[in-house]
């Protein structure tokens, strides 16, 4: 496997071992500390408008907590803007207080790398990783591009011949996917014709309308359209095929060694106590193992994944370094 791989099987095993070790360490060193529970309403901060991906995640958490009476006094707070920067900044201003947590995606790292935000994984408290969202490439049903190798061949002829929407922002996981595939085929990723129309819905509308040639988005955005025959998923950047679309091969199956996910991490304010972190780790672990959460993961065509605080922090450090190297290569670091 090369450096382009993300969320690989080996790293998953490493995280699993690290999670067990972290739990043992906590029990040995922090078990004597008094337990912490929220004393007032908890805010679940999301960086999208109601109905957006992060908002759905926040509301799925809230629904499970309230229905099971695990945490009833909580609300979802929408703080939209800057590819999550507004939400992350808002959360980081609550230092030492475990009553405000946030749903975080790749923008937590890439905004900082690109100089767009002072907030980074080191200026908040990573609490747990709760899901992965495999990226995918989608074309119209009548497109001549049927495989990832067709795509690379077209790029080699003319990197500007295909217009590709990246959803909400450049320099994100969707951008990383096309850049890594281009690199694997010996194509300069900076020469690709990538666009940012302002969201996945607009991207899909433009694709269906014939205004663009391809979208790079989370697989869940186009699975239903693929099943309806309106678009064609040409490859999913996951370790294995998605159960919802078993006819769609992974990108790796097509001979291109690229796995690209869009992780979801829960973060808290900086300076949380060990007891506060332990509370959130426990609640989030129970939540992601609840049948309703697993159903929501399946419905959205995401991948179930859980890691506690310390393994998540270690993952984010490695991801930060990997993302920075790629963004430098794309000419997006100031």
Q: What is the mean pLDDT of residues 188-210?
A: 91
User: How far, in Å, CA of 151 to CA of 210, rounded?
Assistant: 17
pLDDT at 50: 86
CATH 3.40.190.150: which residues of the chain?
9-133+262-329
pLDDT at 15: 45
| Chain segment 74-91, per-residue pLDDT in tens | 999 999 888 889 999 999
pLDDT at 99 over 60: yes
CATH fold for the domain made of 134-254: D-Maltodextrin-Binding Protein; domain 2 (3.40.190)
| Chain segment 164-187, per-residue pLDDT in tens | 999 878 899 999 999 999 999 999
What does the mean pLDDT of the chain come to? 90
pLDDT at 1 over 90: no
Q: What pTM value is reported for the model?
A: 0.85
Position 34 confidence tier, pLDDT thresholds 50, 70, 90: low
pLDDT at 22 over 50: no
84 neighbors 107 (Cβ within 8 angstroms): yes
**Hunting for tokens 């607009």 — which residue is that?**
202
Rounded alpha-carbon distances, angstroms, from residue 2 to 249, 252, 259, 275 = 20, 12, 10, 39
Rounded alpha-carbon distances, angstroms, from residue 45 to 51, 65, 87, 231, 282 = 14, 15, 6, 33, 19
pLDDT at 49 over 90: no
233 phi, psi to nearest 5 deg: -80, 120
Beta bridge partners of residue 138, listed in sequence order: 215, 233
* CATH code for the part of the protein at 9-133+262-329: 3.40.190.150
Lowest mean pLDDT among 113-122, 140-149, 189-198: 189-198
Q: What is the mean pLDDT of residues 215-242?
A: 95
User: How far, in Å, CA of 170 to CA of 179, rounded?
Assistant: 11
Position 111 confidence tier, pLDDT thresholds 50, 70, 90: very high
pLDDT at 3: 40
pLDDT at 234 over 90: yes
CATH 3.40.190.10: which residues of the chain?
134-254
Residue in 221, 173, 163, 166 with CA at minimum distance from that of residue 198: 166
């Amino acid at each position: 496997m090369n450096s382009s791989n993300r969320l690989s099987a080996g790293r998953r095993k490493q995280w699993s071992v690290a999670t067990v070790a972290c739990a043992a360490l906590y029990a040995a060193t922090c078990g004597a500390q008094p337990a912490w529970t929220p004393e007032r309403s908890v805010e679940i901060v999301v960086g999208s408008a109601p109905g957006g991906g992060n908002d759905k995640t926040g509301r799925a958490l809230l629904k499970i907590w309230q229905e099971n009476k695990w945490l009833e006094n909580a609300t979802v707070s929408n703080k939209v803007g800057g590819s999550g920067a507004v939400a992350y900044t808002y959360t980081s201003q609550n230092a030492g207080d475990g009553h405000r947590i946030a749903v975080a995606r790749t923008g937590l790292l890439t905004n900082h790398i690109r100089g767009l935000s002072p907030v980074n994984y080191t200026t908040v408290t990573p609490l747990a990783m709760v899901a992965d969202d495999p990226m995918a490439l989608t074309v119209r049903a009548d497109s001549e591009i049927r495989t990832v190798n067709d795509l690379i061949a077209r790029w080699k002829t003319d990197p500007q011949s295909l217009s590709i929407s990246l959803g909400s922002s450049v320099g994100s996981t969707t951008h990383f996917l096309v850049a890594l595939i281009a690199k694997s085929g010996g194509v300069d990723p900076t020469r690709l014709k990538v666009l940012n129309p302002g969201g996945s819905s607009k991207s899909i509308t433009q694709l269906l309308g014939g205004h663009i040639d391809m979208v790079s988005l989370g697989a869940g955005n186009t699975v239903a359209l693929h099943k309806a025959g309106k678009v064609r998923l040409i490859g999913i950047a996951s370790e294995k095929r998605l159960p919802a679309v078993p006819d769609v091969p992974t990108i790796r199956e097509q001979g291109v060694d690229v796995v690209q996910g869009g992780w979801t991490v829960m973060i808290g304010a900086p300076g949380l106590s060990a007891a506060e972190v332990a509370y959130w780790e426990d609640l989030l672990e129970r939540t992601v193992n609840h049948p309703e959460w697993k159903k929501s993961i399946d419905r959205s065509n995401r991948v179930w994944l859980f890691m506690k605080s310390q393994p998540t922090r270690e993952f984010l450090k490695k991801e930060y370094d990997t993302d920075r190297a790629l963004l430098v290569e794309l000419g997006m670091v100031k």
